[in-house]
Amino acid sequence: MPSPTTFHVDLDALHANLAVARELAGGRQVLAAVKANAYGHGLVEVARSIQERGSAEWLGVALTAEARTLRDAGVSLPILKFTPTLADDLPEAVAAGVTLSLGDVRSVDEAQAAAVAAGVTVDVHLKIDTGMRRVGADPADAVALAGKLAAASHLRVGGVFTHLPISDVVAGEGFTRSQLALFEATVARVEDVVGPVELVHAANSGAVLGHDLGRTTMVRPGIMVYGSYPDAATPHTRPLRDVGRWTSRVSFLKRIREGETVGYGRTWTAPRDTWVATVAVGYGDGYSRLLSSRGRMLIAGRSYPVVGRVCMDQTMLDLGPDTPTVGVGDEVVLMGTSGEERIGVEEIARLMGTITYEVTCLITARVPRTY
């Protein structure tokens, strides 16, 4: 049976956004971040499409399980695992041909042991922490760690990278420039030990859209691939296309009287006689409870406010006092366009007090993705 709620993914739009990243990359290789179920858009389908169209040379994941899923689905592109890999996860990561991120002595020792046990040489990227203060080697420790990598018989240093925490806003330009300068100086010292490194990368979406990429040889677009700028304050230097369109359907219509309340907690009181439509979507689908009496949805090109609390499986809209033209079964747009109206993911993020990344990542597995 079809689900009333669906997340429609426009792969052509996704590839158009990747083309923007490639243009801005200026001949550098492109790694598309597909972690977290491709930011909610469907890991396997997105990765397969990227491979088929050749719109990126690399894929980026956070979990070994994500890489394993891609390999089982026939995706053969190189995969970089951004995050540290725990010792008991290494055999699976090595078997899946994952490129590992290493940033301390322990991770080098454990990766070397796993590679020796498997009888293979494992490609690794050295992670340098230039200011994120999350994971990776401090620049002062990078040369010593590079020496340890150079001495590891079953590890090959294919890349060096860092991450930029505030490259997406003008206020962060100075910090980002200092990070990039520190990174380039550190890479030069690492190369004195291990020799020339093929892949040097730092640029996330914010840096791709708004920074000099310097001597780097690869970029790592993430949220821009899916049609969003990384921050509400990010300069819109290039147009991006919406990739996701989230829809549901009207399941019930009800006439209510002035002064009656709607939903759990009786948080919304009808200011007049009105019609209420119930929509077959709720926080169990990823439509956040933070949108209670704040969000809106579109039906046939018209906007209607959410009233009362978003329920697990249902949400109510105020259609107004007039006899509705809306009917049970009608399409409801939660995110995307309907007629001349549009609800962008950035609007939903603003109302939730969060970022666009979280909005699509919250869409749950029970919502089918269509392509």
Nearest to 218 by CA among 19, 55, 30, 80: 30
Nearest to 277 by CA among 313, 250, 245, 247: 250
Pick the catalytic residue from 39, 148, 264, 357: 264
Separation between Cα atoms, residue 360 and residue 223, nearest integer Å: 10
317: Cβ–Cβ under 8 A, 6 or more apart, which residues? 276, 277, 278, 279, 297, 299, 304, 305, 306, 307, 332
How would you classify the pairing of strands 296-299 and 302-307?
antiparallel
Asked if residue 82 lies in contact with residue 60, where contact means CB atoms within 8 angstroms, the answer is yes
Q: Does 304 qualify as catalytic in the annotation?
A: no
Cα-Cα-Cα-Cα dihedral sign, residues 131, 136, 141, 146: negative
Q: What is the 3-state secondary structure (H, E, C) of 292-333?
A: CCCCEEEECCEEEEEECCCCCCCEEEEEECCCCCCCCCCEEE
Q: Does 264 qualify as catalytic in the annotation?
A: yes
Give the position of tokens 């249902």: 314
Separation between Cα atoms, residue 55 and residue 14, nearest integer Å: 10
Alpha helices in the chain (DSSP H): 11-25, 35-39, 43-53, 64-72, 90-95, 105-118, 139-151, 173-194, 205-210, 345-352, 356-361
Pick the catalytic residue from 35, 39, 226, 304: 35
Asked if residue 175 lies in contact with residue 131, where contact means CB atoms within 8 angstroms, the answer is yes
Q: How many CB atoms lie within 10 A of CB 23?
A: 10
Q: Which are the catalytic amino acids? A: 35, 264
